Amino acid sequence: MNLSAFRGTSHLSGPELSSTKSKARSFIIELRSSKKRWFEDGSDSTSYKATEEDSALDDEGTRRPPGVKAAKKSSKERLSKKTVDDGKELAHFDTMCTLKKQDLVVKERVSKIKLLDSLIAKQDPLADYEEALKKKLIHELMSN
C-alpha cells in the first residue's frame, strides 16, 4: 500500500481527513490480517527452515540446523583443552606462591640481620629493651 497518502495530514480537514483516516484504518486491518495468515501458515519469524537432509537430531531428539553438531563438538574440545590448560596454570600458580613465600622468608631474615647489625654497631650502651632485642635476634638467627 502506498504510504504517501498518510504524510502531511496536518493541513487536511473535513472529508479529506476522514478519507485519510479510513485509509489508515484499512491499512492497519490489512496488516494485522496478513500477519495472522502468515503465522497460521506455520511460518515463524526466522527465514531459515531446516530440511530433512540438512538437519540432524540433537541430544533431546529435536531438529537443529546444520553446523550445530560441529559447533558443539568444537566447544567440547575447547573445554577439554581448557581443563588441561587450567591444570598447567594451577601448577604454575602453586610454583609462584611457593617462590613468593620463600622470598618473604629471605626478606624477613635480611631485615632481622640489618636490625641486629645496627644494634651491634651502636657505640653507646644499649637500653634494656635494645639488649633484650639483640639477644632475641641472635638466638633466632642462630637457630635457623
For 43-57, 58-72, 120-134, which range has the lowest pLDDT when averaged over its residues?
43-57
| pTM reported for the whole predicted model | 0.40
Segment (H or E) for 118: helix 68-121
Question: Which band of pLDDT confidence, cut at 50, 70 and 90, is reported for residue 133?
Answer: very high
Q: Which three cell numbers stand for residue 140?
A: 633466632
**pLDDT tens digit sequence for 101-113:** 999 999 999 999 9
Question: Which band of pLDDT confidence, cut at 50, 70 and 90, is reported for residue 75?
Answer: confident
For residue 22, give the 3-state DSSP assignment: helix
Q: Give the start-to-end residue ranges of the domains of the chain.
A: 1-45
Q: Please tell me the distance from the alpha carbon of residue 73 to that of residue 5, in angstroms, as a whole number.
A: 55
Provide CB contacts within 8 A for 144, sequence distance 6+: 109
Assess whether pLDDT exceeds 80 at residue 65: no
Mean pLDDT of the chain: 76
Assess whether pLDDT exceeds 80 at residue 68: no
**46 burial level (CB within 10 Å; 0-12, 13-18, 19+):** exposed
Helix, strand, coil % in the chain, rounded to nearest 5: 70, 5, 25
pLDDT for position 7: 56
For 54-58, 62-66, 122-126, which range has the lowest pLDDT when averaged over its residues?
54-58
